[in-house]
Amino acid sequence: MRATSPRNVSRRSFLATTAIALVLGVVDSHARSISGSLPWQPGMADPPEPVRPGPWQFFTYDEATAVEAIIDRLIPQDDLGAGGKAAGCAVYIDRLLAGPFGESRQLYMKPPFAKALPQQGPQSPIEPTARYRSGLAALDTYCRANFGQKRFAELTAEQQDALLHGLEEKKIELPNIDGYEFFEQILQHTIEGFFADPIYGGNRDMVSWKLIGFPGARYDYRDFVKRHNERYPLPPVSILGRADWAAQR
């Protein structure tokens, strides 16, 4: 399990080495197009809709409990900051699955389907919503059969880590699904939720950006571009702006 494996890297260095590429990738995966003829006019863009607090939109209560337990082992809380659950990663995944991505609305989903290289992404008629639902059900079945009828969230942290390591290393098989693919999917979405702009429901209070010194969606920070190996001194800014700006409106 990448975020908790005993390697010679700190939590901060792990996050820093993946942050920029992931932030850019998440922004790209959620990008909307500007329609209309040139020249573009103000207000013609189709911006992302902010995720609002509220009940789960895709997960059931039991599914959400399992997902929150999983992501808190993938990115556990420590002295550097909040873990995956507190950062809102489960909310990010829930809203992701409840939107167009969950039903693969913007993907070509017709056959033929062939085994793809890892960099080519999933080549399957199975939609992300079905992958999550069947994956979480299979995980629950495995836990109940091997841990005295306990659900994943009821296991000890050591048992949870061992199970996740087993899935990642292909040493544990889940019934009727590919456990490794399920692990990789939820790991990828957990990291996305941790680093994405808070407008998508994760990275609550910009916790990951503060941790790595990422400036966020600031309009201009050219004065700092050539100041290498120096921590950016200003607080990060979301696409939504900053809370103190909103209070002044």
Q: Quick: pLDDT tens for 37-69.
A: 665 666 666 667 888 878 999 999 999 999 999
Residue bearing tokens 């019934």 = 175
The pLDDT of residue 139: 98
Asked if residue 206 has pLDDT above 90, the reply is yes
Give the range of the structural domain holding residue 213, as residue numbers without chain letter. Answer: 11-29+49-248
Report which of 122, 48, 55 is spatially closest to residue 94, judged by C-alpha positions: 55
In a domain, 239, yes or no: yes
Q: DSSP label at 226?
A: T
Does residue 147 form part of some domain? yes
- For residue 138, the one-letter residue type is A
pLDDT at 170 over 80: yes
98 conformational bin, left if phi > 0, alpha if psi -120 to 50, beta if neither: alpha
**pLDDT grade for 248, boundaries at 50, 70 and 90:** very low
**pLDDT over 90 at 122, yes or no:** no
Task: Report if residue 44 sits inside a domain.
Answer: no
Ranges of beta strands (E only) in 7-105 are none
d(CA 152, CA 73): 11
Report how far residue 68's alpha carbon sits from residue 201's, in angstroms, rounded to the nearest whole number.
14
In the predicted structure, residue 144 carries a pLDDT above the cut 80: yes
Rounded-to-integer distance, Cα 6 and Cα 13, Å: 13
Longest dimension (CA), the chain: 65
Q: Quick check: 84 and 190 in contact, CB under 8 A?
A: yes
Tell me, yes or no, whether 38 lies in a domain. Answer: no
- What is the CB-side half-sphere exposure of residue 71 using CA atoms within 13 A? 29
Mean of pLDDT over the chain: 83
* Cα 102 to Cα 148: distance, rounded to the nearest angstrom: 33
On whether residue 41 sits in a domain, the answer given is: no
Confidence (pLDDT) at 74: 97
207 located within any domain? yes
Name the pTM for this structure. Answer: 0.77
The label of the residue with tokens 């299979």 reads: 138
Q: How far apart are CA 153 and CA 83, in angstroms?
A: 15
Examine residue 242 and state whether it is found in any structural domain, yes or no: yes
Closest CA to 208 of 3, 29, 15: 15
Determine if residue 129 is left, alpha or beta; phi over 0 gives left, psi from -120 to 50 gives alpha, anything else beta: alpha
Q: How many domains does the chain have?
A: 1
Residue 65: both structure tokens together: 């409990």
Question: Could you tell me which residues come within 8 angstroms of residue 90 by beta carbon, excluding any fewer than 6 positions away?
Answer: 59, 64, 67, 68, 71, 84, 193
First to last CA, the chain: 45
Is residue 92 included in any domain, yes or no? Answer: yes
Q: Which residue has the higher pLDDT, 166 or 220?
A: 166
Mean pLDDT value across residues 70-79: 95
Q: Reply yes or no on whether the pLDDT at 131 is more than 50.
A: yes
ω before 112 within 30° of 0 (cis)?
Answer: yes
Other residues' Cβ atoms within 10 Å of the Cβ of residue 74? 22
